Amino acid sequence: MMQTYALGIDVGGTNTAFGLVSRRGEIIEKGTLPTNTWATVQDFVHAIALRLQPLVDSVGHNNIVGIGVGAPNGNFYTGEIAFAPNLPWKGVIPLARLLQDAVHLPCTLTNDANAAAIGEMAYGIAKGMADFLVVTLGTGLGSGFVANGKILYGHDGFAGELGHVIAVRGGRVCGCGRKGCLETYCSATGLVRTAREWLLQRTDETELRAIPPDELKAHHIQQAAANGDALALEMYDYTARILGETLADVVALTSPQAIIFFGGMAKAGDLLLAPTRRYMEANMLNIFANKVTFHASALPDADAAILGASALVW
């Protein structure tokens, strides 16, 4: 059987990971390169093409079906990245076409959360599931919805912007220019904003006061909560309440079988997911009560994004 490999590329704000993946989901070889050190996207594409060449040569060009790319604000229909706030290239970038021309392989692109959902369907917890969603909890909050066994792209290819549902009307200013978006509360950045606000407004004792506010990161709060720090635990509870309330609404609209959490903050595991689930159930419409399962992604950490991107190709 020919063409049993795919290239998977996960474009992140800081680094880009790539790999050669077999149809069974084995990563044969992989690597990374910086995303944000290139003057133009052409330079970036040139650099990644040079890095992909040895992988292509190792199994032969004819044995590779194509390239799958997950990227922030990536659009499946157009193959373009549109106005991604966390990438160095502004405006609309025809990344799929540029990669296709450089590597001489067909290239399919989607946003990173959809790539994660495809990865879960192909190789992860969502195998055999027709209706579920993946929530990516990292710097921001992304989501990929699967309905009737297919990614829900919507008319424009931009469906799944759960991070920009208004969770708190008139709330925190968001990078999108509006106020109260879910990701301004429920993401690594959101958690840090909660901490900085509360450390100013409140007088509770907490080990977080030992860290200069400008240097405070989500992992400090996670560590403090793991140590039993009451204020840090309350920050997680606050984050979980807003996320759980919003997910109850999402369930009412889409009736998923499962919600799968992916990315840095999902690694906090029960610290975040247990109270999120509790708040979701407390706000759930009766016909959906205690039906939707909750999972942290079980795909091997560094590989999940590459697997998800490569799975676009099949």
Binding positions for its own copies, rule: CB under 8 A: 73, 82-83, 130-132, 143, 145, 147-148, 150, 152-162, 164-166, 169, 176-178, 245, 248-250, 252-257, 283, 285-288, 291
CB of 12 vs its own copies, minimal distance in Å: 20
Which helix (H) or strand (E) element contains residue 238?
helix 230-254
CB of 250 vs its own copies, minimal distance in Å: 7
CB of 158 vs its own copies, minimal distance in Å: 5
CB nearer its own copies, residue 77 or residue 202 = 77
CB nearer its own copies, residue 221 or residue 259 = 259
CB nearer its own copies, residue 20 or residue 162 = 162
CB-count exposure of residue 149 (10 Å: 0-12, 13-18, 19+): exposed
CB nearer its own copies, residue 220 or residue 295 = 295
CB of 64 vs its own copies, minimal distance in Å: 28
- Tell me the CA distances in angstroms from 126 to 4, 135, 258, one per residue in order: 22, 13, 8
CB nearer its own copies, residue 59 or residue 82 = 82
CB of 93 vs its own copies, minimal distance in Å: 14
Contact 217, 196 (CB under 8 A): no
Contact 308, 120 (CB under 8 A): yes
